[in-house]
Amino acid sequence: MNKYPLLSKLLVIFSLMLLLSIPLLMVFDTIQERSAYRAEAATAVARAHAGAQIVTGPVLYVPYTETFTRTVPVEGGRGETREERVTQAHVALRFPTRLDTRSQLETQTRWRGIFPVTVYTSTHQSTGRFVWSGVEPLEKNGQITLGQPRMILGVSDLRGLLSAPQLTVAGQALTMAPSPAAQKLPLPLAASVNVALLKPGAAFDFALNVELAGTGRIGWVPLADENSVSLRSSWPHPNFGGDFLPRTRNVSDQGFDATWSVPSLSTQAQQQFVQQGERRSAPDSFSVALDNPVDVYRLTERATKYALMFIVLTFAAFFVLEMVKRWRIHPMQYLMIGAALVLFFLLLLSLSEHLDFAWAYGLASAACIGLLTHYLRHVLGGWRPALGMSAMLVALYGVLYGILVSEDNALMMGSLLLFGVLAAIMVVTRKVDWYSVMGTAPQTTRQQPQ
């Protein structure tokens, strides 16, 4: 290898990069571990407060019996028959013809150790209308007898109810309570409704007020023929999800307001609700999540994915300038510089758990660049070359931060960075005699003098 010093140096540098990938993987595992701890903290807060909430209903639940007479053969009667009275139990489900909900949501931050978790309290004021179309008997001579009708309502986590939901049906105030366990209703809350309201073709209005707490996300199942939900909150970073996006929304630093409008023709929620005993999938829904816009673990993880590129570009710059400027940098010095670059990502992770990500990034990069500047002053023999290399590192860290905070333009910025580095290397080394640097010379045929 002494015959090819450049190739020998390249192999050593490549081996150092492979060696540095080991602590990089350890940093990456640490990020995953801390992210898992944060998820456990959110789960613990949700278990003590209330989890994500999905509001379902209200739905009119009407048990009824059908009595009819049928003809059955007499056992051993040689073709003789007899009349038998039969009673069968059924359930009729009716959904609102319209449901208008006005909701207000306020957020709070709960801490579990060093991990913040966003929780909320909300109020929901709903108005709507039911139309009782009656029940058609299944048998020709069937007679229908209605049982006790109930208005039923569902929320994902009953611990989030701050008070009993207040229901008014046809001007009569009702209080919802847990559904009777013996009847196995499809939703956990129920209120008895006057059976006298259920006259074929009769329509009656209702109003429902619910105070609900939860963690992370809130949503609705659009079961009415015409569904309208309006939500206001001071949370400035909503993440709208589910099967339907809001028709209108306005997001600012002071909060957001959004309006959903979902007709039954656009969703199969009613059919899915009726068949949910046979299906495992949940009905269609729409929701808003209270996500943190700056997920420090996601940003740190993304930054760590660029770590190897950082090391490659830094080593490449040192290697090229070592040839051009005739610097002498020992492989151990390469290793120390690479270790400082790796340590930056661990510093970024630890600081971002306590500071704003921008401040954490600035402090971690300043510490790393300051350390390398002091070290390079002695390695390169002066402040001038050390400051020049430090300026390159400042540019690299600046570009990386731009990539992290501008996820939509990350690919373009990364591509431009690599193209710029390649162009700089080609310009700087355009006059390098690679045969001389590699320790070999091209074979040429020279004419001997006469």
Per-residue burial over 385-397, b if 16 or more Cβ lie within 10 Å, else e, is bbeebbebbeebb
Residue 271 sits in a domain whose CATH number is 2.60.40
Longest dimension (CA), the chain: 138
Burial class of residue 382, CB neighbours in 10 A (0-12, 13-18, 19+): exposed
Cα-based torsion angle of the residue sequence 97, 151, 63, 132 in order, rounded to the nearest 10 degrees: -30
* 154, 183: one domain: yes
Contact partners, residue 180, CB within 8 Å, separation at least 6: 190
Closest CA to 194 of 159, 170, 218, 162: 170
Token pair of 126 as six digits: 């709903």
Asked if the structure places residue 427 within a domain, the reply is: yes
Cβ count near 436 (within 10 Å): 10
Number of folded domains in the chain? 2
Is the distance from CB of 165 to CB of 209 less than 8 angstroms? yes
- Closest by Cα among 66, 58, 41, 16 to 332: 16
Same domain flag for 313 and 379 = yes
Q: At which of 255, 274, 289 does a domain end?
A: 289
CB atoms within 10 A of CB 264: 17
**Judgement on whether residues 191 and 331 belong to the same structural domain of the protein:** no
User: Could you tell me which of 34, 55, 35, 47 has the C-alpha nearest to residue 110?
Assistant: 47
Q: Are residues 365 and 429 in the same domain?
A: yes
- Bridging pattern class, strands 150-155 and 189-192: antiparallel
Same domain flag for 189 and 338: no
- The sheet that has 248-252: what strands, in order across it? 172-175, 166-169, 202-215, 115-132, 98-112, 226-233, 255-263, 248-252
The DSSP output letter for 275 is: T
Query: Would residue 105 count as lying in a domain?
Result: yes
Q: Are residues 285 and 183 in the same domain?
A: yes
Same domain, 242 and 121: yes
Counting other chains too, the contacts that 323-328 makes at CB distance below 8 Å and 24 or more residues apart are: 323/6, 323/429, 323/432, 323/437, 324/428, 324/429, 324/432, 325/385, 327/380, 327/385
Distance CA 375, CA 331 (A): 14
CA–CA gap between residue 399 and residue 370 (Å, rounded): 18
For residue 104, the surrounding DSSP H or E stretch is strand 98-112
Does residue 77 lie within any of the structural domains? no
Tokens representing 350?
A: 């630890």
| 47 within a domain of the structure (yes/no) | no
Q: Are residues 178 and 324 in the same domain?
A: no
Out of 269, 289, 309, pick the residue that ends a domain.
Answer: 289
Whether residue 447 is contained in a domain is answered as no
Q: Of all helices (H) and strands (E), which one includes residue 121?
A: strand 115-132
In a domain, 444, yes or no: no
Q: Which of 433, 370, 407, 378 is nearest to 295 (CA)?
A: 407
Beta strands in 29-80 (DSSP E): 53-73
Q: Are residues 233 and 124 in the same domain?
A: yes
**Last residue of one domain, picked from the residues 245, 270, 289:** 289
52: three-class secondary structure by DSSP: coil
Q: Which amino acid is it at 420?
A: G
Whole-structure pTM over 0.85, yes or no? no
Residues 98 and 24 placed together within one structural domain of the fold: no
Range of the domain at 393: 5-38+296-438
CB atoms within 10 A of CB 251: 14
Shared-domain flag, residues 272 and 323: no
**pLDDT values of the chain reduced to their tens digit, one per residue, 450 residues:** 456 666 777 788 888 888 888 888 888 888 888 888 888 888 888 888 888 999 998 999 988 888 877 776 776 656 676 777 777 888 888 999 999 999 999 998 888 878 888 889 999 999 999 998 887 777 777 787 888 889 999 998 999 999 889 999 988 898 888 888 767 888 899 998 888 888 888 888 999 999 999 998 999 999 999 999 999 999 988 999 989 999 999 998 888 999 999 998 999 998 888 887 555 567 889 999 987 766 788 888 878 877 887 788 888 878 777 777 677 778 888 888 888 888 888 898 888 888 888 898 899 999 999 998 888 888 877 888 888 888 888 888 887 888 777 766 666 776 777 777 778 767 766 776 665 655 554 444 444 444
Residue 93 sits in the same domain as residue 130? yes
In-domain check, residue 44 = no
Q: Spell out the residues 6+ positions from residue 214 whose beta carbon is closer than 8 angstroms to its own.
A: 49, 50, 51, 52, 53, 119, 120, 122, 156, 157, 160
Q: Which residues pair with 260 in a beta bridge?
A: 229
Q: Which two tokens stand for residue 118?
A: 């966003």
DSSP annotation of 83 reads: E
* Domain-embedded: residue 222: yes
Residue 90 contacts residue 65 (beta carbons within 8 Å): yes
Position 449 scores a pLDDT of: 44
